Structure 1
Amino acid sequence: MPTGYYTHPEFLRHEMGHFHPECPERLQAIEDHLISHGMDGLLERREAAPATREQIERVHGADYVDSLERASPASGYYPIDPDTSMNSHTLAAAKLAAGAAVAATDAVMAGEVENAFCCVRPPGHHAEPDRAMGFCFFNNVAVAARHALEAHGLERVAIVDFDVHHGNGTEAAFRGDQRVLMCSFFQHPFYPYSGTDHIATNMANIPLPAYTNGLAVREVVETIWLPRLNEFRPQMLFISAGFDAHREDDLGQMGLVEQDYAWITGQLVDVARAHANGRIVSCLEGGYNLSALGRSVLAHLKVLLER
């Protein structure tokens, strides 16, 4: 079966000002790498549709969604925090990003594709149930995981987050929910300065110091993530695929390279094949060095396609 690839032109219209690192050029860099390496025609391209209010409110409160609707500007920017703002296209893009993850979940569950990558922005894993932050508005992976549980009746899903920043929003959405196992590593201490206190039993949070390299990360995956995942036996895997732990990315200080992302992806594919009929939905999170991002997504997709 093919790998689904979900994106939408509206993702390029959301922007938060000149020189902001979370920029439309990120998706263009990914597309350029796919085309230049002959990958473009191997993916089953599907255009995202907006998530419904019901789907979003499985994770985010109605008052919070209403507040974003009110804040959406007709022109210019509306600041959420010093790093996060809305333009007139942000809300539509955020609904489409969450909707892409939901549609990918439906397609994988229906057996139309074995796995899927959602090439979306804005990212999602910092968005808490009632708070936008860290470039994020709706938590795309959390919305998709909750959809798999509630709409498809799955009993166990796993979320793996390899962004350089802790996925505080995803942890807030699922802390204590024994239907969900979340495995992550992240640079610490580092934004958003979370993930190390009062850790719930369904969280495998691995804080790592700056300059941790790929060999150390692989050891974490082998000794901590994989035993937890295989014991949990997830019926579907969701990936918060942030590539800002790459050694060339200035928004983090870790030392991964694209071969490390390929290796991690391969391990997750093996878990999905063992327990979940290969079902994986991966959603783009961080990654701000355009060349490193394009190369890393390419490596990630090659494994999803070929394994």
Structure 2
Amino acid sequence: MSDGGPPVTTTESSEAAPAIPDFAALAAGLDLNGAAERIGLIQQLYQQKQQDLMNSYEQAKKNILNQQLQAYYQQILANALQQQQQNMAATQPEQMDEADSDLGSALPKLEDGLHNLGQAFVPHMIVPSPSLPNLNMAGLGGLDLTSLLAQAAQLNSFLSLPSLLKTQLAMSGQMGIGGQQEEIDRTRLDPRAAALASLSNAQLPIGGYPSLLKQQLRELVLRRKSLVREEPEEVIPMEEQSTSAVEKASSMEVLAEGESQPTTGLAYDGNMSRHECVCGQSGSHVEHGGRVTSIWERLQAVGLVQRCERVPTKKASLEALRSVHSSIYVQFFAVSPTACLKMEPSELPLRNFVQLPCGGIGVDSDTYFNDASTQSAARTAAGSLIELSAQVAEGKIRNGFACIRPPGHHAEKDLAMGFCFFNNVAVAVRQLQQKYPEKAKRIAIIDWDVHHGNGTQLCFENDPTVLYLSLHRHDNGNFFPGTGAVTEVGSGAGKGFTVNIPFSGDVMRDADYLAAWRVIVAPVLEHYDPTFIMVSAGFDACTGHANALGGYEVSAPMFGFMTRQLLQYAEGRVVLALEGGYELSAISDAVEHCVKVLCGADEDAGRLSADALEGIPCMAAQETIQKVIAIHKKHWPTLTAIQGINTSELQWQTLSRELQRMSMNQN
């Protein structure tokens, strides 16, 4: 709720819908050139649709939407009153303190009037801007939408049109109820739209119009006191509590039957799925909330949520985020970009926002940003992994899987990219180092996402207590992000503790990953002897991903196999954190195998097919492995199993058993 505004009273869906405050009456005495009439017309739309909306939207969204609507209309009337006072020059307007809300203390009469109404706004379609919401429903109120919008220039002081008008109208059409959205000529309705029409994929500067920060983000976010203080950490949201209670009861029933107590932790929060583009079209983005919800639904369907222990989720503190990212970066992406508007442009972590083809806002051409949800989701993702890792370090649970988004391994100290804002794994590792030094003496980060984790590598390239080992598609630097060459081995004291296995050329499959694992990964881990293992568990190498998103054909059981191999180290202290992976069925299959292995639910989990075990690695994979050995054998003397490069996994296992038998006979 805006500071200084009226209290908002939420209403259960079973109760009668509350009356809409008569803002037209409040504004009737003001000379607003017809603004009061237009507000009244808009009010009629809400009255006509309030019952439908009350039945259509989740109870969990009501409070948020109520507060937004109240803030929007308070601002409209506040601006109107202030404009009239200036025109009349009756009194000198008071200056609002930066710490005040939008209304501040200079408008006591307006605040009192609103407070006395004592009514809550009815939840409605998610509004894309603080102006003219639900424009697609204008026909229901008998309004001439074209005529109304054409007069927008006269209402600039009171109702500022969205800078992305066509997209916003499309959003309202999707979120609305019934009827098709008619195509509207933006250049005819708003002269500003002609200039904006040429901005597709163009960079939008932070300072000056058309600035999305000033035009859209600032109007929304400056209403919140959270700009200058850290939000309180949260536990499992209310909407999750009923599910958690059922899961807990199911777990107690399992214990009553004599089974052992769960030792695998799961971290998930529905809040993370709300990070979405302002265009409202999740289908046009490969990274969306359906990734984590589909995985979680799969884990529930196969009984793994009930078998494992649900770890409470929390938002990462700003201090924890600063252990990896710069202070200004954290302020920008964990609080709000508008909190950094007074800083010099050269100090900002982002020089320009990008207008995406869908009409949304992005930090680059792929990574959308939504000031209403991105900060909360990104902090929850990092905080959930911190909590899960801490419980493993404390011995409360043995291992765990964090079903989190947005992902993190591309995020650098001062750079958001590749769908990533905060480097979740890096932040969790830094917290382990600070709070559990004994368990964090030697941390191994295994990154099997098909894309190289440039942000994670940079974070620890000088740290000899953290081993970063990545298997990824490289294509000689021509596959995103282009980093992760075999020659990148770390620097300073950390030289040799960065091990990249950059595949190029052919499509990689299970046999190729198996060869890299037995010849490089396993020997390095044996020598390093980690005390804790973190996995950047991206599943975009899974079969089913388009070439641009991965293009490899690694099976779901292969990820279970790698998980089982990791449990042999660090006394089983292994934590998997979701990174990439965009084909919902494929990533759900892979996660199911991994979690089954973690909790010992199925001995067949991670069991490879005969084709995988008998396959010979392709020549491109063999060449990559040979290059890694040539570069790293001086750092890791155990990299001597060259004979395992051109053999199948089955042949290698047979040979290993024979060598072991011969060794035992000699002893």
Same fold per superposition (TM over 0.5): yes
Is 1:124 equivalent to 2:408 in the alignment? yes
Instruction: Name the residue aligned to 2:593.
Output: 299
Which of residues 440, 443, 465 is equivalent to 1:179?
A: 465
Distance (Å, rounded) in 2 between the aligned partners of 1:152 and 1:31: 29
More divergent stretch after superposition (29-38 vs 142-151): 29-38
Counterpart check, 1:115 vs 2:399 = yes
Question: Which residue does the alignment assign to 2:263?
Answer: 2
Contact 1:49 1:100 in 2 (8 A): yes
- The answer on 1:23 being equivalent to 2:288 is yes
Deviations 1:277-299 (A, max 9, x none): 21111100011001001111001
Match of 1:285 in 2: 579
1:303 maps to amino acid: V
Q: Distance in 2 between matches of 1:229 and 1:242?
A: 20
Q: CA deviation at 1:247?
A: 1.5
1:198 matched residue in structure 2: 488
Q: How does 1:233-248 map to 2 (within 5 A)?
A: 233-248=529-544
Could you tell me how far apart the structure 2 residues matched to 1:228 and 1:187 are?
20
Q: Is the 8 A contact 1:149 1:155 kept in 2?
A: yes
Corresponding position: 1:71 with 2:361: no
| Cα distance in 2, alignment partners of residues 183 and 149 from structure 1 | 18
Large movers: runs of 4+ above 6 Å: none
Q: Hey, what does 1:261 align to over in structure 2?
A: 559
Q: Which amino acid aligns with 1:81?
A: D
Q: Is the 8 A contact 1:72 1:91 kept in 2?
A: no
**1:210-269: per-residue Cα shift (whole Å, max 9, x none)?**
411111101101110111111111110000000000121121111101111111111111
Matched, 1:168 2:464: no
Residue 39 of structure 1 corresponds to which residue in structure 2? 304
Please tell me whether the aligned partners of residues 51 and 96 of structure 1 are also in contact (alpha carbons under 8 angstroms).
yes
CA distance in 2, matches of 1:54, 1:152: 17
Higher strand share: 1
> What's the offset of the Cα at 1:125?
0.4
8 Å contact 2:311–2:387 — kept in the other structure? no
Structure 1: how far apart are the matches of 2:445 and 2:503? 19
1:6 maps to a residue whose letter is A
Tell whether the 8 Å contact from 2:488 to 2:498 is kept in structure 1 after alignment.
Answer: no
- Partner residue of 1:81 out of 348, 364, 367: 364
Deviation per residue, 1:88-137 (Å, 9 max, x gap):
11111111111011101110111110011110000000001111000000
Task: Give the structure with higher Rg (CA).
Answer: 2
User: Which structure has more helix as a fraction of its residues?
Assistant: 2
In 2: Cα distance, 1:184 partner to 1:198 partner: 11
Q: Aligned to 2:571, what secondary structure does the other structure show?
A: coil
Q: How many residues align?
A: 301
Superposed displacement of residue 183, structure 1: 1.0
Higher normalized contact order (CA 8 Å, seq sep 6+, divided by chain length): 1
Tell me the CA shift for residue 168 of structure 1. 0.4
Counterpart in the other structure of 2:442: 156
Shift of 1:303: 0.6
d(CA) in 1 for partners of 2:583 and 2:361?
A: 26
CA contact (8 A) 1:126 1:170 kept: yes
Deviation string, structure 1 residues 148-171 (Cα, Å, up to 9, x no partner) = 112211221000000000000100
Match of 1:216 in 2: 512
| Separation of aligned partners in 2, 1:228 and 1:178 | 14
Contact 1:98 1:144 in 2 (8 A): yes
CA–CA distance in 2 between the matches of 1:35 and 1:10?
18
2-structure distance, mates of 1:173, 1:101: 17
Structure 1 pair 72–7 and aligned structure 2 pair: CA distance change class (3 A): farther
Unaligned runs of 5+ residues in structure 1 are: none
TM-score (norm 1): 0.94
Residues of 2 paired with 1:72 and 1:135: CA distance? 21
- Residue type of the partner of 2:473? Q
Conserved? CA contact 1:72–1:86, under 8 Å: no
| Rounded Cα–Cα distance in structure 2 between residues aligned with 1:211 and 1:143 | 33
The 3-state SS of whatever aligns with 1:120 is coil
TM-score, length-scaled by structure 2: 0.44
